[in-house]
Amino acid sequence: MAFLHGIANTVAWILRILGYRRKVIDDNLRRAFPDVSNDKRKRISHSFYRNVADIMLESIKSLSITEKNIRKRVTLENREMFETLKKHNRGVMVVMGHYTNFEWVALAMPLLVPHETFAVYGRIKNSKVNQWVVNLRQRFGLQLFQMKDTYSFMLNNPSKAPLYLFMADQAPHKGKIKYRAPFFNIDTPTHLGSEKLAKKCNLAVVFIHVTRIRRGHYKITPKLLFEHPEQTEQYAITNAHVAELETQIRRKPSDWLWSHKRWKNT
């Protein structure tokens, strides 16, 4: 890992020199932090490149990392909360963002919780590459289903108490915008799938905060947002998980994926 992180330092430097998605990153940072100085936004941008490089190189390590090693490098606080939900046969909708090494979090999650664990993914056109990615992500028990099958899979899943991992920070297609949630004081187009499926499948909603303790080591801190989603008002779940994501990002901005065009349809 020390060798890979050494390479990551070089990769981060190259990304900065080449200006990888610099316009998108700078625009996003200006929108999110309009009152922050240019120098501070530049420092966030520089640290962001190291975060991206770490994710890239650590993902390579996913090919050979052992179960013992991933358990050591990704830890979960308050596992008891998930055990209590499982004891009562409650399924869980885990909402997270592209924050720190989200790939390792998804890889490790089946080892850390008592639930059978599932995640949605977008199929890659090249069938061999697609199968390689699927096999990699499923190494430790995560079960994937295609994005196009989300509703049919979840509504017919025979698992009594499943746990689903959903990324909550992706921008919906322009023609599919149904709601805009407040995010960094911007009315931001937001997917409603997590909220709708949590209600339809009666899943407790949990947001996970992820902290990079040091390079290659992460801590997951879950927060139960709603145990009974069917009792919530419309958009309450969406507003809550978007607010948690913003809180997480504000704590350490450089660990979020600023290279996404998050506000392209604002």
The verdict on residue 121 lying in a domain is: yes
pLDDT tens figures, 135-158: 889 999 999 999 999 999 999 999
Q: What mean pLDDT is predicted for residues 81-91? A: 97
Residues in the chain: 266
CA dist., res. 89 & res. 160, Å (int) = 6
Which residue do the tokens 């490089």 mark?
53
CA distance readout (Å), 169 to 22, 78, 212, 242: 19, 24, 19, 8
- The pLDDT score that the predictor gives to residue 224 is 98
The verdict on residue 57 lying in a domain is: no
Whether residue 200 has pLDDT greater than 90 = yes
Q: What mean pLDDT is predicted for residues 27-44? A: 96
The verdict on residue 51 lying in a domain is: no
The verdict on residue 7 lying in a domain is: no
The verdict on residue 226 lying in a domain is: yes
CA distance readout (Å), 159 to 4, 17, 90, 91, 222: 38, 48, 11, 9, 22
Amino acid at 85: L
The verdict on residue 56 lying in a domain is: no
- The pLDDT score that the predictor gives to residue 110 is 97
- The pLDDT score that the predictor gives to residue 129 is 84
Closest among 5, 22, 215 to 101, alpha carbons compared: 215
Looking at the DSSP bridge assignments, the partners of residue 236 are none
Whether residue 133 has pLDDT greater than 90 = no
CA dist., res. 49 & res. 60, Å (int) = 17
Q: Which letter does DSSP use for residue 94 in this model?
A: E
- The pLDDT score that the predictor gives to residue 166 is 95
The verdict on residue 48 lying in a domain is: no
Mean pLDDT, rounded, of the chain: 95
- pTM tops 0.75, yes or no: yes
Is residue 96 a contact partner of residue 168, using CB atoms and an 8 Å limit?
yes
- The pLDDT score that the predictor gives to residue 248 is 97
Q: What mean pLDDT is predicted for residues 85-113? A: 97
Report the number of distinct structural domains present in the chain: 1
For residue 118, the enclosing domain spans 70-255
The verdict on residue 87 lying in a domain is: yes
